[in-house]
Amino acid sequence: MTSQSRKSGVDPVAKAYVDAINKWTKDYGIDFKKSLEGDEVTDAQRKNLEKLNSKKLVWTEHSTCEGNYYSSGYTIFSEDSCCWRSLAFHIGSKPWVGDEDTLIQFEATVYMPCSVCNADGEGDGEEDCPGPGVPKGASRDDCEDGYINWFFD
């Protein structure tokens, strides 16, 4: 395989997700150096997050039953929730626009068909599929049964 064909093999859908994340960090001035791990927030940091949240500057990175998201607002999920957990809090310099019912979301992980062996999402994939090229800003698991777990964080 030449470097040219590897380059053209970058998964276009994964690239679109990376572009969306890059646009998100740019549009809202997200500074990952200020990010806090979900389970390591002190009382003082929590108070600060609440203050920043009133200015609409906080985003919650969290799991769901389907995948992980970056969602507008400072959110702590119930301990009882099956798979919804706050993983991290990200702080921007430009507020998101909306009220308490507003939810702006970006995918941090996506489980989707492999563009090499299961492009139409209808098949079961191929044995030992190398999978598509990985765009800068993304990572992924191996292709398994025609599907791949992608990470955009």
Instruction: Say which amino acid occupies 99.
Output: D
Q: Which is nearer to Zn ion, 77 or 147 (CB)?
A: 147
d(CA 64, CA 80): 13
Q: Rg of the chain's alpha carbons, rounded to an integer?
A: 18
| Closest CB 153 distance from Zn ion, rounded Å | 22
**Contact between 52 and 58 (Cβ < 8 Å):** yes
The one segment of 2-10, 43-51, 104-112, 118-126 that binds Zn ion by CB under 5 A: 118-126
The residue whose two tokens read 């200020």 is 34
Query: Which residues inside 98-117 make contact with Zn ion, applying CB under 5 A?
Result: 114, 116-117
Structure tokens at 84: 């919804």
Tokens representing 67 are 């995948």
Contact residue for Zn ion among 52, 76, 104, 129 (CB under 5 A): 129
Residues forming a β-bridge with 96: none
Q: Which is nearer to Zn ion, 30 or 116 (CB)?
A: 116
Q: Where are the beta strands (DSSP E) in the chain?
A: 36-37, 58-63, 68-72, 85-91, 105-107, 109-113, 139-140, 147-151
Member of 143, 150, 151, 152 binding Zn ion (CB under 5 A): 143
| Piece in contact with Zn ion (CB under 5 A), picked from 5-13, 48-56, 98-106, 135-143 | 135-143
To Zn ion, the closest distance from the beta carbon of 133 in angstroms equals 12
The two structure tokens encoding residue 9: 């093999």
Nearer to Zn ion, 13 or 129 (CB): 129
Nearer to Zn ion, 92 or 131 (CB): 131
One-letter amino acid at 54 equals: S
CB of 68 to Zn ion, least distance (A): 22
Interaction site with Zn ion (CB under 5 A)? 114, 116-117, 125, 129, 143
